[in-house]
Structure 1
Amino acid sequence: MAGHCVSLTTWNSVMLQSVKVKRVDVVWKFYGDMLEYDVVGDVDTIGYLVQTFCMENNTAKGHKLLRQVLEAGHVPSNAAFNKLISAFCKSGNYAKVSALLHTMIAKNCSLDIHTYQEVIHGLCKRRMRHEPLRNYLKDRGYFPDRVMYTTMIHGLCKMKCLGEAWKLWFEMIQKEIVPNEHTYNSLINGLWRTGNIEEAEKLYKNVCEKVMEKLL
């Protein structure tokens, strides 16, 4: 980029890729270069900076920057909201999570499955029940996919709620959503932890048989 100034689209493209590979140092380097060239960023640029703050565990600054861009009348992509939601979930600040979800709805953002996954994953990590959120998700027209089912099953098993984990497992099968190795591992580990050795071995045998069927 030496010798001439490239378009904002190019700057944003580089920043986006840097965010994707979690190279916060590169994000700040290119943002500094943008300022030197007097390139004015747009709402996408701000969204990448919000995500970068979150990756640096500087959620407060990321949240402040989001509020500023919203007050200016701009709405960043869901990715920026999702990063903040993930960060607040990790710290257990569900008041902020709720506020962000309401802001997204108020700003006519289409809450996607990734938004809900962040919340459910956070609830699981904090050992909190998430049935009300799952129902809320369904009410809004989002139906759990394999990743979401696996996330919920994993969280329930860590909470030793095997009954609920099995319920989701059979619901998953009934909907013809095929469990993957992560789903099996989560449930098998949960069964072992709770002393259900026979059930764990039975499930392990089941997954081995399925692997063999694929190989034959």
Structure 2
Amino acid sequence: MGSSGIEPDACSYSVFIRAYCEANNIHAAFRVLDRMRRYNLVTNLFTYNCIIKKLCKNDKVDDAYQLLTEMIDKGISPDTWSYNVILAYHCEHFEVNRALGLISRMERFECLPDRHTYNMALKMLINIGRFDRVTELWETMADNGFYPSASTYAVMIHGLCKKRGKLEEACKYFELMIDE
């Protein structure tokens, strides 16, 4: 591009980063990101989110956290999607403390968890039988002004129905859902 007299901009580089990420070539994506840094091009949320997603898919979640920190240092606020892609990794690997810690981090950085955030965490906690943490998270949701959607209730009811001795609790959430 540069040899034709047209200089690539941040948008052009972001397209390459996304393409490399979709082709599962994370090293090439980082080379493009490094070039953007060298030329002092402004990176954006889209650029970082593409790489964060691919890092998590390749089990490089610690590198994803480094990018989150870099984003914040550059004044780019991660959005719910940025956090949810990392949260999905923790939930898939049943990393309870890291998952719940990430939700707390979201709240500290004023990035409110959404329905998907809570649903992933609740499903993970139910699947591993951490009902104490399920109740705690449900209360946190209410404290934060989050009103469960039908899908959130479905996660609770379906998950609890599958667990021995939790049918009565599942019915309680069903009644709550109907009352709302």
Query: Taking structure 1 as the reference length, what is the TM-score of the superposition?
Result: 0.64
2:136 corresponding residue in structure 1: 132
CA contact (8 A) 1:15 1:30 kept: yes
- Structure 2 unmatched runs, 5+: none
CA contact (8 A) 2:126 2:159 kept: yes
1:180 corresponding residue in structure 2: none
Partner of residue 67 from structure 1, selected from 66, 69, 89: 69
1:80 and 2:82 correspond: yes
Paired amino acid for 2:153: Y
CA distance in 1, matches of 2:161, 2:95: 23
Offset at residue 76 of structure 1 (A): 1.6
Partner of residue 123 from structure 1, selected from 114, 125, 133: 125
Greater RCO, 1 or 2 (C-alpha within 8 Å, sep 6+): 2
1:110 corresponding residue in structure 2: 112
Partner of residue 170 from structure 1, selected from 159, 170, 175: 175
CA distance in 1, matches of 2:63, 2:137: 28
Paired amino acid for 1:25: N
Paired amino acid for 1:107: F
1:159 and 2:160 correspond: no
Aligned-residue Cα RMSD (Å) equals 3.2
Offset at residue 11 of structure 1 (A): 4.6
CA distance in 1, matches of 2:142, 2:16: 36
Give the SS at the match of 1:144: coil
CA distance in 2, matches of 1:105, 1:167: 28
CA distance in 2, matches of 1:46, 1:122: 26
Q: Deviations over 1:98-134 (max 9, x none)?
A: 3322322222222322222221122122222112211
Larger Rg: 1
2:22 corresponding residue in structure 1: 23
CA distance in 2, matches of 1:152, 1:41: 42
CA distance in 2, matches of 1:26, 1:126: 34
CA contact (8 A) 1:43 1:76 kept: no
